[in-house]
Amino acid sequence: MSFQAAASTPQGGGFGTLLLLALPLLLIAYMIFSQRRKAKAMQQMQSEFQVGDEVMTSTGLYGRIAALEDGVVRLEVAPGVQLEWDRRAIVRSPRAGMSDQAGTDNEPTE
């Protein structure tokens, strides 16, 4: 068999090629849907803020919500010290992370 004849015959790698194309597409789709789910959860958490909630900003600053306006949250970080933050800068609320422990004391048991 000549070199030219061997190069022109199909090798039967159709499934391997399909797999090489499908895996990256599945990975990209998973990353997109995962990011959308996280964004929806973040948006829901930010819409449920109430005055008096303790929250953390994207820079790690902890404070208590003193006032809520359209897109602005006023945080009290110390007695008499209030800072204005964009609502999207609030990334965590301890209340949202402790839904299964609601109503329990944080005191140690004997």
- Domain with residue 42: its CATH number is 2.30.30.140
Burial, 63: exposed, middle or buried (Cβ in 10 Å; 0-12, 13-18, 19+)?
Answer: buried
CA distance 72 to 87: 5
90 domain-assigned:
yes
1 domain-assigned:
no
Instruction: Give the pTM.
Output: 0.55
Instruction: Tell whether the torsion through CA atoms of 106, 104, 38 and 41 is positive or negative.
Output: negative
The pLDDT of residue 105: 45
The pLDDT of residue 3: 60
More confident residue, 23 or 96: 23
104 domain-assigned:
no
105 domain-assigned:
no
Alpha-helical (H) ranges within 1-110 are 3-8, 14-47, 94-97
- Work out the mean pLDDT of the chain and round it to a whole number: 79
**pLDDT band per the 50, 70, 90 thresholds, residue 103:** very low
Count: domains in the chain = 1
Containing domain of residue 59, as a range?
19-97
pLDDT of residue 108 exceeding 50, the answer is: no
pLDDT digits over 44-77, tens only? 888 888 898 899 998 999 999 999 988 899 999 9
51 domain-assigned:
yes
